[in-house]
Every structure is written in structure tokens, then in C-alpha cells.
């Protein structure tokens, strides 16, 4: 069973001091940092671009998981790779040729991820699994932190896990993850959990316990030893 990965989303961090926030969340026990890139076109919000990914890169050694909520994605893949992304995730709807876009990410030497919106069926990634290191199931509609978990994501994780079988592909869930919902998706087979508001709430003094609560709940419900 793949080790659990907890990936705090800095969308809920203090944007006036993002470097310090990245350092603090890494020191608090994050496995990866999740960076949400939004273009105001594919999703109704605008966040950061490659310059910010590059500026944040020196603040932590752990992997940067870059979630592109942009369309088209192809013109920007190289810029995010060069800025320091370790994995680059693109939505099924981010361009006309998903398979080619995933090939492009792999050709840049990065891990490739494909993202399912709440309305996007699991079957839409069936023919690109050979190019995916991660499949991310959105459990909110992308664009904002702090939204309510969409329960149908749990069944999608179950379906995805069966489809993936023994292939070494991470199942990631993003949106509305709390200790309670982390347990639900981990029990269904998710091994990589993104959380923004539930981890950054309470400020830096709470980060380690917030991460620990999600990790413990997920480990317990998935039959792993609690770390």
C-alpha cells in the first residue's frame, strides 16, 4: 500500500507571506506542497503563475504538486516545470488532446497528473492511465477553498481504484478534506490528500496538529498504521 501523502494547499495560506507559510507547513509535517494555479477563465478565480512557484521553491525541499486550473494548459507546461514543479496536474477539459499534454509533462521530466471535475466521469481517464502518475478527484468545484465536500467523490475513488488495479498511480482527492472526509476517501482507496482550509486554520501554531489529525484519520480508515 502506498504511503499516505498529505499535501497542504497554500490557497488557504496568508498570501502576504507565502514563503514563510511554505516553510512553516513543511516544518509542520507536510509531505508535499499543493499549489493551485487559476486563470480566471477555466475557473472563476485568479491565483498564481510560474513566477510565484519559482519564488517559493527555495522555502521547502518537499515536492511541489502544481494543480493547473487553466485552459489551454499546453503553452505553460514548460514554464511550470522550469519554475520547480515536481508534479503537474491538468484537467481532462484543459485542452483538446489530453494524451499529448500528459506526454508533454512526462517529456519535461515531471510527474503527470490528470484531474477529474465533479461532473467528469472516471471513464474519461481510462485511455491515459499509462501516462498518469496521479489521478486527482475533485471533491468540490475548482476555484475556491473552503467549500463543502461533495460526497459522490467517494464512489468515484472506489471506481477509480478498481480501474487502476495494481498500476503505481496515486489517487489524490482535493476539496473539503477534513479529518472526517479524509477517512471516507482513504477508506475508498485514496492515498494522497489535499487540504487547504482544514490545515491552515488557526495559524502556524496549529499546522502540525491539523496535518496530524487528517493523517491519523486517513491512516485509521485505510488500515494503515497511524504515523
The residues assigned a catalytic role are: 36, 174
Burial status of residue 96 (CB atoms within 10 A of its CB: 0-12, 13-18, 19 or more) = exposed
34 binds ligand DX5 (CB under 6 A): yes
For the chain, the farthest-separated pair of C-alpha atoms sits apart, in whole angstroms, at: 44
User: For the CA atoms of the chain, what is the radius of gyration?
Assistant: 16
Residues 182-221 that bind ligand DX5 (CB under 6 A): 194-198
- The CB-of-179 to Zn ion minimum distance in angstroms stands at 19
Total number of residues shown for the chain:
227
Select from 72-80, 156-164, 172-180, 201-209 the region that touches ligand DX5 (CB under 6 A): 172-180
* Alpha helices for 43-124 (secondary structure H): 50-56, 77-83, 98-107
Spatial distance between the Cα atoms of 13 and 10, rounded to a whole number of angstroms: 5
| Nearer Cβ to ligand DX5 (21/36) | 36
For ligand DX5, which residue of 36, 39, 65, 191 counts as binding (CB under 6 A)? 36
Grid coordinates in use for 128? 491515459
191 binds, among ligand DX5, Zn ion, none (CB under 5 to 8 A by kind): none
Stretch that binds Zn ion, among 66-74, 116-124, 158-166, 197-205 (CB under 5 A): 66-74
Amino acid at each position: 500500500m502506498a504511503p499516505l501523502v498529505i499535501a497542504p494547499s497554500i490557497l488557504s495560506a496568508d498570501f502576504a507571506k507565502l514563503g514563510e507559510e511554505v516553510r512553516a507547513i513543511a516544518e509542520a509535517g507536510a509531505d508535499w506542497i499543493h499549489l493551485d494555479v487559476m486563470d480566471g477563465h477555466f475557473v472563476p478565480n485568479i491565483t498564481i503563475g510560474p513566477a510565484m512557484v519559482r519564488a517559493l521553491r527555495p522555502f521547502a525541499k518537499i515536492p511541489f504538486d502544481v494543480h493547473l486550473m487553466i485552459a489551454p494548459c499546453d503553452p505553460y507546461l514548460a514554464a511550470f516545470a522550469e519554475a520547480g514543479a515536481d508534479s503537474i496536474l491538468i484537467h481532462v477539459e484543459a485542452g483538446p488532446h489530453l494524451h499529448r499534454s500528459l506526454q508533454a509533462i512526462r517529456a519535461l521530466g515531471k510527474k503527470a497528473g490528470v484531474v477529474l471535475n465533479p461532473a467528469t466521469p472516471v471513464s474519461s481517464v481510462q485511455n491515459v492511465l499509462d501516462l498518469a502518475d496521479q489521478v486527482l478527484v475533485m471533491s468540490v468545484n475548482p476555484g475556491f477553498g473552503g467549500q463543502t465536500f461533495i460526497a459522490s467523490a467517494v464512489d468515484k475513488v472506489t471506481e477509480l481504484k478498481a480501474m487502476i488495479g495494481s498500476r503505481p498511480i496515486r489517487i489524490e482527492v482535493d476539496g473539503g478534506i477534513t479529518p472526517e472526509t479524509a477517512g471516507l476517501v482513504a477508506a475508498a482507496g485514496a492515498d494522497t490528500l489535499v487540504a487547504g482550509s482544514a490545515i491552515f486554520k488557526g495559524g502556524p501554531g496549529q499546522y502540525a496538529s491539523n496535518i496530524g489529525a487528517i493523517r491519523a484519520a486517513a491512516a485509521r480508515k485505510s488500515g494503515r498504521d497511524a504515523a
